[in-house]
Amino acid sequence: MNRWKVVISDYYYKNLDQEKAILASVDAELLSYHCKTEDEVIQAAADCDALICQFAPITRRVIESLRRCKVIVRYAIGVDNIDLKAAEECGIIVCNVPDYSIDEVSNHVIALLLDCCKKLTYMAGQTKLGNTSYTMIEPLSRMEGRTLGLMGFGRIARVVARKMSGFGLNIIAYDPMMDTAAAQQLNVSPVSFQELLAQSDVISLHLHLNKSTEGMIGADFFRKMKKDAFFINTARGAIVKEDELIAALRDGEIAGAGIDVLCSETVPADHPLIGMDNVILTPHAAWYSEEASLALLTKGAEEVVRGLNGEKLLHPFNGIYYAREVE
């Protein structure tokens, strides 16, 4: 009989060989499911010692059913599907994997930014239709000397700032918890929220999704941006009021957008953003490379092992660093 029981509530990876190998080192049995509801998670995980999740709802009801669970790890940076308060009250550590795709996401931000500013996707599409005149992209402004605004200044935003430093942009950032030393080192100017909106030619969103940020970006935000500015979102779709983004793009409140995340993981074929020439839309793929995928699976399983062994966790999200003792 195995010493520990580890449950994966849901996943969409090709296999779980990496997790199995790592968890075998502590004599843990690994059981995997494709849960979509609270009841399914409760049925699968009620007696687990550790839970790994992706999109399944880890609500208060689920957490209170986890009689033996020491640690919950999410296959992601954000933990918006987990009730952190309930987990803290129950003494369960919640961990994320914050550093598995920094290079990939920062590169995706830059790719969307360059595409928006140079109108590459639109131009390529028109060229294939036989329009071979550069006038199709008029007017187009030079990038050098323009202002990139970073909304949030965490790991990914800081790497974006470093990588974009050679483009001759003025880089500014708004973050209530601004790391001023990091900003100074990267030649990034801290600004207020209102200054970010007024000054930026491109705004890139780098916030976690939580109760305070959900739906915080809407019509008023877009009205205060420059008319010729672009909006980039590789963070979380639910931070933005999607219908108000669509209206802002349709009505010319902003010039365009590069979007990797929407409110739903599934994008219907008739979604309004798909048919807009001033939108570059990608399917929540900013994080992906083979190396990032392997790092995510590896680091998630390694964090579970630390929790089961009573070691200090590397990335606890709810202020608990050591797993509880369960009789």
Among 197, 201, 198, smallest CA distance to 140 is for 201
Dump pLDDT digits (tens) for 274-293: 999 999 999 999 999 999 99
Model confidence at 1, in pLDDT bands (50, 70, 90)? Answer: low
Dump pLDDT digits (tens) for 22-68: 999 999 999 999 999 999 999 999 999 999 999 999 999 999 999 99
284 among known catalytic residues: yes
- The domains of the chain, with CATH numbers, are 4-100+290-308 (3.40.50.720), 102-281 (3.40.50.720)
265 among known catalytic residues: yes
The mean pLDDT of the chain is 95
Q: Which of 133-142, 235-244, 261-270 has the highest mean pLDDT?
A: 235-244
Catalytic one among 68, 284, 315, 324?
Answer: 284
Of all residues in the chain, the percent with pLDDT exceeding 90 is: 92
What does the block give as tokens for 327? 């009789």
CB 261 within 8 A of CB 237: yes
Question: Which residues lie across from 29 on neighbouring strands?
Answer: 5
Catalytic one among 236, 253, 302, 303?
Answer: 236
Is the pTM here over 0.85, yes or no? yes
Catalytic one among 34, 67, 89, 265?
Answer: 265
Residue 327 pLDDT more than 60? no
Beta strands in the chain (DSSP E): 4-8, 28-32, 50-53, 71-74, 93-95, 147-151, 170-174, 189-190, 202-205, 230-233, 256-259, 279-281
Cα–Cα distance for residue pair 269/280, rounded to 1 Å: 15
**pLDDT for 268:** 87
**pLDDT for 47:** 96
| Mean pLDDT in residue range 174-203 | 97
206 among known catalytic residues: no
**pLDDT for 135:** 94
**pLDDT for 2:** 78
Dump pLDDT digits (tens) for 80-111: 999 999 999 999 999 999 999 999 999 999 99
- pLDDT: is 124 or 2 the higher one? 124
Cα–Cα distance for residue pair 118/142, rounded to 1 Å: 9
**3-state secondary structure (DSSP) of residue 172:** strand
Dump pLDDT digits (tens) for 220-232: 999 999 999 999 9
Model confidence at 322, in pLDDT bands (50, 70, 90)? Answer: low
**pLDDT for 152:** 98
| Mean pLDDT in residue range 186-215 | 96
Model confidence at 267, in pLDDT bands (50, 70, 90)? Answer: confident
